[in-house]
Structure 1
Amino acid sequence: MASISALGIGSGLDLNGLLDQLNEAERGKLEPIERQIESQQVRISAYGELQGALSAFEGAANRLANPELFQSLSASVGGEALQAAADADAAPGQYQVEVAHLAGAGSLASQRIDVDPGETLTDGGGILTLAFGKAPEGEPDAIEISVAAGSTLEEVRDAINAHEGAKVSASLVNDGEGYRLALMSHQTGEAASVTGMTFEDGFFADGVAVSDAEDLEEGAVVQQGRDAAFSVNGINIVSPTNQVEGAIQGVTLDLQQPGSATLQVEQDTRAVREAVGGFVEAYNALKGTIGEQTAFDADSGRAGELNGDSAVRTVEARLRNDLSAMVGDSAQGEFALLGELGISLNLDGTLSLDDAELDMAIANDMGAVERFFAGSGETPGMAGRLAETSGQLLGSNVALTNAIGGAENRIESLSQRYVRMEQGIEQTLERYRTQFGQLDGMIAQMNQTSDYLAQQFAAMDAQLGRD
């Protein structure tokens, strides 16, 4: 394009402007291709939205097709003494729980040590021994912590906290008259309780006064660790922690405070209601997406990107067939149609849910509800059938993915055509540049000849005038 700037110098014509107009006219031929590519890209985006909505519906159907959903249990507690959670191993029932006291961690503090935290506590170093109530099998009942020579009270604290097997947290406490080395067990219960803190002979530097903390009644401040004590239906139970598993099969108890509580373990009907509601919402969202993509506005004449698309019609038809088909046998006391569980298929293709009718079906026969949605044995239920259909519609080599592939192929073909046409335009413009350059040179020569002849005629006229 650099040569364009020189066009017109010889002729005085606006050849650059003319070349720009020709360029614009030629590139206008690319606009229909650009619009077609953009249309296919928008179409692919619309297919992607449809796939996303269909995938969400598949997930909702799969959740409702899972038999474990209908077998899940919930634990409700009356009272503030505890909280509880039930898993699949629990059995429905009611339990009276009495919490006598909670589990607590043991704590122990040395007598006052007459040095500031930053002053030297020991000259030659030594061993600090910590004893515990009753360690689990295979673990020691006491541990020894080495303290370096010249350590301060703060460094003794840090040595305890840095020891991997210490099982306590150490801190310094000022009771208003002096400092104490305080220990708190990491775990609750009697077995984990710290019960002794013994300093090796010669541990303290000269001048440091402290009584032997091994004699707890005379020298140390102690809070013994203890196990939680509670009863379930009159059976006494102890636990080293306040979170108890196994006291009631499949139930985890979280003891909160002393007192009474009633624990009810029952079928989790709320989870089933939420799954059915989610199923209806996901289907309606899918229908809404399809409606937006296939809509037609008669006033404006504007149509959705997938209006009249055969792949969309295939998705709608297959799901509608599954929704309207029978599942069980009403004569055998089974639910056969969605309407029997309070789910209606509206005229616009969406679903509506009657919560009261669904609650009644769940309360009367949860097993029948399970068989309707989840099926039995090798026979899928309504939700299982819809999940399978949705998975097939989302799979490879089906109408929806083929439609996306077709749009992508058209984009590739159009892009190749665009490149070829663009190359042709560049060749045409280059030919124009050459021709304009030749025209510019020719007119420049003609102008020079004209100027020369004019000068000659003028000279001749002047000569004749003198004669």
Structure 2
Amino acid sequence: MGLTAVGIGSGMDINGIVSALVGVENAPKQARFNADAGKVTAEISAIGALKSAMSDFQSKLDFLSKPESFISNKAKLSNSDHLKATVDETAIGGSYSLIVDQLAQSQKVSTIAVADKEAAIGEGTLSFTVDGSSFNIAADATDSLQSLVDKINSAEDNVGITATIINDDDGAKLVLTSTSTGLDNQISVTATDVAPGTALNDTFTMSQVQEAKDSIIKIDGLTVTSSSNTVSDAVTGVTLTLTEADPSKTTNLTVELNTGSVKSGIESLVESYNSLMTTIKEMSGYDPDTKKTGVLQGDSLVRSIQNQLRGALSGVYSTSEGDLTLGSIGVITTREGLLEVDGDKLDEALTANFEQIKELFSSEDTGLASSLDSLIDGYVQTGGILDGRDNTLDNQLERIQESRERLAIKMKAYEDRLYKQFNAMDLIVAQLNSQGNMLLDRLDSLPGVVRKNS
């Protein structure tokens, strides 16, 4: 601003006049900037909401895109007191009677007792063997039971033995436990290269604390023995995990068709798709009640997304047993362009054509889930189409801000120019007023002039 005390010479409100003139010039342009920025900000928000809705839809594809989601059978037990059961895709429907006679367990052996677990027991080499595999520990003259526990447990070539100290009524004993169950995984210990006069050999005369056992189950009266409590080769496609033995109790296992999880996955996909399409409609449509148009109305981007998604979901997909569409399995398109599930028809299709439906969704390159995932990914991935639109809109906001800054400079120069002009005018008016007053004073001083106020 020019002078701080302006208009003294003319009596005019120069500050107000300049402010009004600058405002008249500045206000329309600022209003346009605000409107443009508001529109761009609304578009950025809309693109963010669209990306979020598309990402949610994409996440629902994950389950249906995996072949393992289409394990066609499930295991059902009459009770879970003695075992658990899971199935894979090779399982065959049927019923089985199971009795858990015995659980597998690890062998435990102990040394003889010593009075002090920290006392040296001599030097030599200890060799440990489990199921034909061995590793050695070198005991030096200072080693005790406690230090040998540490050496055994930390040995890099340990073949499956855990050592600990147990203090019973006789004294401290080093106890070895096989990390694997079953008769094949029993422990053998030998002491060699023992220095004369040391107690290493005597101390490591092992006695059994707990015997090794194989698991024993009866399946429809047939005996199955395993070194583990997890039995995966007794019934095709079924893994049994044994938890408790009781020869007097029978557990019934039924392997039957499992369509529930796939149906839920399809329903979840439909729900997410409808949510996405509703979001797109709100962004691009017109509300006759509020008489408001969507932020992205007429935008080619949302039209492209709608058309591509509808095309993918209405397409015909080839399977090894013939062509399939969503409509043929009970997922139909409504008049509003949304999807709707005919539950009964979908149940029938899953029962009759489960493998076909598996191919429809989960085929790696040609399946519906894979096709939709690739389509959506092109939009939502980092550097994708929506990120590109975001960058364009961010650049527009930057240009609007740059225009604001240029306008502010221009308005400051305009304001300075107005103050300069009005101040010059004010000075001239002040000079004219001063000259006028001087002239009046001289006229008043002439002889014969009568003052008006005299």
Same fold (TM over 0.5): yes
Cα deviations across residues 177-225 of structure 1 (Å, max 9, x unaligned)?
53222222222223332243648455758xxxx9935554xxx352122
Q: Give the structure-1-normalised TM-score.
A: 0.70
Aligned equivalent of 1:102: 103
Aligned equivalent of 1:285: 275
Q: Cα gap change, 1:39/1:101 in structure 2, threshold over 3 Å: closer, same or farther?
A: same
- Is 1:114 the counterpart of 2:115 in the alignment? yes
| Cα contact 2:112–2:205 (8 A) shared by 1 | no
Q: How far has the Cα of 1:337 moved from its partner?
A: 7.4
Aligned equivalent of 1:180: 173
| Cα contact 1:85–1:251 (8 A) shared by 2 | yes
Whole-Å Cα distance in 1 between the matches of residues 257 and 98 of structure 2? 20
- Is 1:50 the counterpart of 2:60 in the alignment? no
Aligned equivalent of 2:235: 248
- Is 1:272 the counterpart of 2:259 in the alignment? no
Cα deviations across residues 207-253 of structure 1 (Å, max 9, x unaligned)?
xxx9935554xxx3521223223344444333322223333343333
Identity over aligned pairs, percent = 25
Letter in 2 for 1:109: S
Aligned equivalent of 2:446: none
Cα deviations across residues 288-320 of structure 1 (Å, max 9, x unaligned)?
323432454545434332345454455445655
Whole-Å Cα distance in 1 between the matches of residues 104 and 113 of structure 2? 28
Cα deviations across residues 380-408 of structure 1 (Å, max 9, x unaligned)?
7xx73x87478557757xxxx88986786
- Is 1:169 the counterpart of 2:170 in the alignment? no
Whole-Å Cα distance in 2 between the matches of residues 442 and 52 of structure 1? 62
Q: How far has the Cα of 1:429 moved from its partner?
A: 0.9
Letter in 2 for 1:358: L
Aligned equivalent of 1:423: 406
Q: Cα gap change, 1:404/1:149 in structure 2, threshold over 3 Å: closer, same or farther?
A: closer
Whole-Å Cα distance in 1 between the matches of residues 60 and 349 of structure 2? 20
| Cα contact 1:335–1:369 (8 A) shared by 2 | no
| Cα contact 2:101–2:216 (8 A) shared by 1 | yes
Q: How does 1:36-435 map to 2 (within 5 A)?
A: 36-54=36-54, 56-57=56-57, 60=60, 64=64, 70=70, 72-80=72-80, 81-115=82-116, 117=117, 119=118, 121-122=119-120, 125-127=122-124, 129-132=126-129, 134-135=131-132, 139-140=133-134, 143-166=135-158, 167-176=160-169, 178-196=171-189, 198=191, 200-202=194-196, 212-216=202-206, 220-259=207-246, 260-294=250-284, 296-309=286-299, 311-313=301-303, 315-316=305-306, 319=309, 341-366=329-354, 373=360, 384=368, 388=371, 391-392=374-375, 395=378, 409=392, 412=395, 415-416=398-399, 418-420=401-403, 422-433=405-416
What SS class does the counterpart of residue 174 from structure 1 fall into? strand
What SS class does the counterpart of residue 107 from structure 2 fall into? strand
Whole-Å Cα distance in 1 between the matches of residues 152 and 221 of structure 2? 43
Letter in 2 for 1:101: Q
Cα deviations across residues 109-157 of structure 1 (Å, max 9, x unaligned)?
2222112x4x4x127x51352543532xxx33xx432234334443232
Whole-Å Cα distance in 2 between the matches of residues 434 and 362 of structure 1? 81
Whole-Å Cα distance in 2 between the matches of residues 215 and 418 of structure 1? 87
What SS class does the counterpart of residue 272 from structure 2 fall into? helix
What SS class does the counterpart of residue 184 from structure 2 fall into? coil
Q: Cα gap change, 1:25/1:202 in structure 2, threshold over 3 Å: closer, same or farther?
A: farther
Q: How far has the Cα of 1:426 moved from its partner?
A: 0.3
Q: Cα gap change, 1:104/1:337 in structure 2, threshold over 3 Å: closer, same or farther?
A: closer
| Cα contact 1:11–1:441 (8 A) shared by 2 | no
What SS class does the counterpart of residue 185 from structure 2 fall into? coil
Whole-Å Cα distance in 1 between the matches of residues 44 and 98 of structure 2? 60
Letter in 1 for 2:291: G
Q: Cα gap change, 1:52/1:424 in structure 2, threshold over 3 Å: closer, same or farther?
A: closer
Whole-Å Cα distance in 1 between the matches of residues 201 and 372 of structure 2? 80
Whole-Å Cα distance in 2 between the matches of residues 322 and 201 of structure 1? 80
| Cα contact 2:106–2:185 (8 A) shared by 1 | yes
Q: Cα gap change, 1:454/1:113 in structure 2, threshold over 3 Å: closer, same or farther?
A: farther
Q: Cα gap change, 1:179/1:442 in structure 2, threshold over 3 Å: closer, same or farther?
A: farther
What SS class does the counterpart of residue 188 from structure 1 fall into? coil
- RMSD between aligned alpha carbons? 4.9
| Cα contact 1:108–1:196 (8 A) shared by 2 | no
Aligned equivalent of 1:8: 4
Q: Cα gap change, 1:241/1:344 in structure 2, threshold over 3 Å: closer, same or farther?
A: same
Q: How far has the Cα of 1:173 moved from its partner?
A: 1.7
Q: Cα gap change, 1:336/1:435 in structure 2, threshold over 3 Å: closer, same or farther?
A: closer
Q: Give the structure-2-normalised TM-score.
A: 0.71
Q: Cα gap change, 1:158/1:414 in structure 2, threshold over 3 Å: closer, same or farther?
A: closer
What SS class does the counterpart of residue 432 from structure 1 fall into? helix
Q: Cα gap change, 1:454/1:37 in structure 2, threshold over 3 Å: closer, same or farther?
A: closer
| Cα contact 2:312–2:371 (8 A) shared by 1 | no
Q: How far has the Cα of 1:104 moved from its partner?
A: 1.2
What SS class does the counterpart of residue 180 from structure 2 fall into? strand
| Cα contact 1:110–1:180 (8 A) shared by 2 | yes
Q: How far has the Cα of 1:43 moved from its partner?
A: 1.9
What SS class does the counterpart of residue 112 from structure 1 fall into? coil
Between the two proteins, the alignment pairs up a number of residues equal to 425
Whole-Å Cα distance in 2 between the matches of residues 416 and 355 of structure 1? 53
Q: Cα gap change, 1:434/1:46 in structure 2, threshold over 3 Å: closer, same or farther?
A: closer
